[in-house]
Amino acid sequence: MPELPEVETVKNELTPHVIGHTIISITPVWAGIIKVIPVEEFTERVTGQKITALSRHGKYLLFHLSSGDKLVVHLKMTGSLILGASGPPQYTRAIIHLDNGQNIYFRDPRKFGVLKLIKDVSEVESKLGPEPFDRDFTAKVFAERLKNRTSPIKALLLDQKFMAGVGNMYADEALFAARIHPARISGSLTTEEIAKLHRSIRKVLKAGISNKGASIMTYYHPDGSTGTAHFQFNVAHGMRETCTVCGTRIKRIVVRGRGTYFCPKCQPERKY
């Protein structure tokens, strides 16, 4: 949390309020949120820069600045960007002050979030696998990337170098939609199962974006409201006690250290 749909929602909702506006200053309420370069250098490079575009790469949000720098925001587990002109909300770790009187508050209760500056988007993209919505990321390409993989499929979906943007919630939902057990060895999936999972990943992510993200823990929209995607979850986060398809009790297991929810009847375990 937040995952691709949540970051995409933040990007979409911030865009009309920040594009073309200038950062007049930045207040590092907690200096530890700024990474790689010293806080003083960071604030100096950001101050006076116009925001020319916003983009998303995986779970990263990038503010494109007139200087050519890109201000990278990684919300990590509990981060949110709140837009407002009044006082900062609780747990604000940094404040970006804009020339239109608005402030962007980086709220992050657990202090895992990151702010940093890069020169080229490749510095982010090179660390990530393909985007699920990329035109070139076909079911055939997906199958090639799965070939001979010995990791559990749930763990592989969470690997951002394998595919960018999918996290714990939407991996569980996609595997349920595709009727695949989360501990299944990735390389054992059939061509039909791979095609179904490929479609399911895109489907659950699109639904998540349509519902403006899932507010399971501390995720908020820039206006402070909450998303509704979690109300549509079938298994993720144990939002439902029983399966919406067969009525079987939803089960929780741990896959490579991550809590995982699935229906044992709709997603039967198979030995390979």
Residue with tokens 């983009």: 55
Q: Quick check: is 258 catalytic?
A: yes
At 264, is the secondary structure helix, strand, or coil? coil
CB 133 within 8 A of CB 205: yes
Q: Quick check: is 2 catalytic?
A: yes
DSSP letter at 39? H
- Please tell me the number of Cα atoms within 13 Å of 254 on its side-chain side: 3
Question: DSSP of 242-255, one letter per residue?
Answer: B-TTT-PBPEEEEE
Question: DSSP of 112-124, one letter per residue?
Answer: --EEEEES-THHH
Structure tokens at 269: 């375990």
Q: Quick check: is 59 catalytic?
A: yes
**Which entry of 50, 111, 145, 258 is annotated as an active-site residue?**
258
CB 169 within 8 A of CB 236: yes
**Which entry of 11, 56, 59, 184 is annotated as an active-site residue?**
59
State how far the alpha carbon of 147 is from the alpha carbons of 180, 185, 186, 203, 209, in Å: 16, 10, 8, 23, 29
**Which entry of 2, 5, 130, 222 is annotated as an active-site residue?**
2
State how far the alpha carbon of 214 is from the alpha carbons of 6, 50, 99, 220, in Å: 7, 31, 31, 9
Known catalytic residues are 2-3, 59, 258
